[in-house]
Structure 1
C-alpha cells in the first residue's frame, strides 16, 4: 500500500467566452482508492462532471466568461501494488478481449504501422513475453534523450524515433508504437508521481497487455510505475489531455505538486519481512 497527496493549480486569462474540459482528477479504478479530494473553480462558473465508463477517466466541463480563471484540485490517494510475474506471455490475437483489441491499431501519435519494420528488425527476434516489452522500454531509455522543450503537441512517435529526443509522453508513444507493431496491445497512462528533477508535472508511461493484465512500463526511468496516481488512460495523448480548450486564453500559472507518504510503503515492507521471519 502506498499513499500520495496530489495537487494541481491552473490559472488562465480568458480572452473571450470559452469552453473548458479538464482531465485532472484521480481516476476511480481498481487498485487506486481516493481517500479525500477537493475541486475548486473560480466563482460564478457552473461545473459539469462526468466519467467515461470504459476508461474510468473523469472530466470537468464548464463555460467561462472573459477574465481570470483558477482551477485547483487536491486529493489523497491510496495505491495498492500490483503483483507482476516475470514470466507473463504475450496474448495470441484470437484471445485478445474485445475491449482491448483497439489498442492494437495505429493512432494519432502512435504510427505503429509506419514503425512496423523497425520494430521487427529491432525486437522481432526476441522471445515473446514481458521480457521483450522490457527490452523495448530499455532500448528507448538508452537511445532517446530526455529533453524538455524538444517536442511539441504535434510530435508523434515516428518523429521521436528520428530525432531521438523527447519528454515522457514521447517516450511512452514510442513504446506503444513498437508494441502494437509486434501485435502487443498497448496504451498510454498519465498521472501524478514524484520524481527528483523539478519542476513537478503530469507524467506519462505506457502499458502493455500481457498474460491477461495491463503491465506498466516507464522508459524514462524517472519514477517507480507503481507510485503513479492515475488520472487518465487512452490510446495516446489525444485521449488524455489534461485540458481541452475551445476559445482564446493565456495560461498564467501551472503548478503540480506531489507529496508521497514514503513511511506507508516502508511500514508495509517491514510488516512483510516480519511475516516472513515468523
Structure 2
C-alpha cells in the first residue's frame, strides 16, 4: 500500500465573469482511501460539487467574478490496488457488458476505425489476451518519442502514430486506439503520480477490458501505475479535462506537488472518502 499527498494550486486572471468546471478531485474508485481532503477557493463564492455514478469522476462548478481566481486542492490518499493476474483473456465482443461497449467505439482523439489496418499488421498475429496489450504498450514506448510541446490539445492518435512523438496523453490515446481497433475495449485514465524528475504534472495512462476487469497500462513508463491517484476516467481526453472554462480567462499559475509518504496500516480496498471540506475566502 502507498500513501500519496497531493497539493494543487490553480490561478487564473478572469477578464469577465466566467463559468468553470473543474475535474481535479480524487475519483471514487476501488483501492482509493481518501484520508483527508480540502478545497480552498479565493475569492469567496458559491461552489457546487457533483459526481458521475458510472465512472466515479467528481466535478466542481462555480461562477467566478472578474479578477484573480485561486483554487487549491489538497488530499492524502492511501492506495491499495487489486493485484493483476499474469494471464487474462480478451473478452469477445458478444460478451462485452452494455456499460463497457462504448469503450469499443471510435472517439474524437482515438480514431480506431481508421487505424484497424495498422493495428492488425502490428499485433493481429499475436495471441489474444493481456500479452497482446502488453505488446501494444511496449511498441508505443519503443516507437514514440516523449517530446513535451510537440503535440497540442487537438492532436489525435492517428497523428501521433504518423509523427512518432507526443506526451503522456498522446501515448495513452494511441494505446486506446490500437486496442479498440483489435476489438479490445479501452479508455483513458488521468490522475496524480509522483515523478522522480520534476516538474510534477497530471499524468495520463490507459486501461483495457480483459476477462471482465479493467487493467491499467502506461506506455510512457514514467512511474509505477499502481501509485496513480485516479482523478478521471473517460473515452479520451475530451471527457477528463482538469478544467473546462466558459468565458475570458487566462491561466496565471499551475503548481502541483505530489509526495509519497511512509506506508500506513492496511485499509479496506473498497471506495471510501470523508466529506470534502470546501473553504471559500
Q: Identify the TM-score tier after normalising by the shorter chain.
A: over 0.9
> Contact 2:35/2:77 (CA < 8 Å) preserved in 1?
yes
Which residue is equivalent to 2:29? Answer: 29
Aligned-residue offset at 1:144 = 0.3
* Cα distance in 1 for residues equivalent to 2:260 and 2:131: 29
Task: Say whether the 8 Å CA contact 2:43–2:70 is kept in structure 1.
Answer: no
SS of the residue corresponding to residue 77 of structure 2 reads strand
Larger deviation, residues 172-181 vs 248-257 = 248-257
Find the counterpart in structure 2 of residue 248 from structure 1: 248
Name the residue aligned to 2:278: none
- The answer as to whether partners of 1:150 and 1:165 remain within 8 angstroms in 2 is yes
Give 1:43 shift.
Answer: 2.6
Matches of 2:88 and 2:246, distance apart in 1: 43
Once the two structures are TM-superposed, the CA of residue 197 in structure 1 deviates from its matched residue by 2.4
Cα distance in 2 between the residues matched to 1:236 and 1:81: 22
Secondary structure of the equivalent of 1:99?
coil
Query: Does residue 188 of structure 1 match 2:184?
Result: no
Mapping 1:1-278, distance limit 5 Å: 1-261=1-261, 263-264=262-263
Q: Tell me the equivalent position of 1:273.
A: none
1:61-111, CA deviations, whole angstroms, 9 ceiling, x for partnerless residues? Answer: 010111000000000001113211111000111111111010000001000
Could you tell me the TM-score, scaled by structure 2's length? 0.93
Rounded Cα–Cα distance in structure 2 between residues aligned with 1:82 and 1:34 = 17
Distance 2:103 2:97 in 1: 10
Q: Which runs of 4+ in 1 moved over 3 A?
A: none
Residue aligned with 1:70, SS: strand
Counterparts of 1:197 and 1:137, CA distance in 2: 22
Is the partner of 2:27 in helix, strand or coil? coil
Distance 2:189 2:154 in 1: 19
Mapped partners of 1:117, 1:255: distance in 2: 42
Q: Deviations over 1:145-197 (max 9, x none)?
A: 00000011000000100100000000000000000000000000000000122
Return the alpha-carbon distance in structure 2 between the equivalents of residues 252 and 87 of structure 1: 47
Bigger drift between 165-174 and 39-48 goes to 39-48
The 10-residue stretch of structure 1 (78-87 or 228-237) with the greater mean CA deviation from structure 2: 78-87
Mind listing any 5+ residue stretches in structure 2 that lack a counterpart?
267-281
Q: CA deviation at 1:236?
A: 0.3
Which structure has the higher relative contact order (CA within 8 Å, separation 6+)? 2
Structure 1 spans left out of the alignment, 5+ residues: 269-278
- Distance in 2 (CA, whole Å) between partners of 1:195 and 1:152 is 22
2:275 corresponds to: none
Is the Cα–Cα contact under 8 Å of residues 82 and 226 in structure 1 kept in the other structure?
A: no
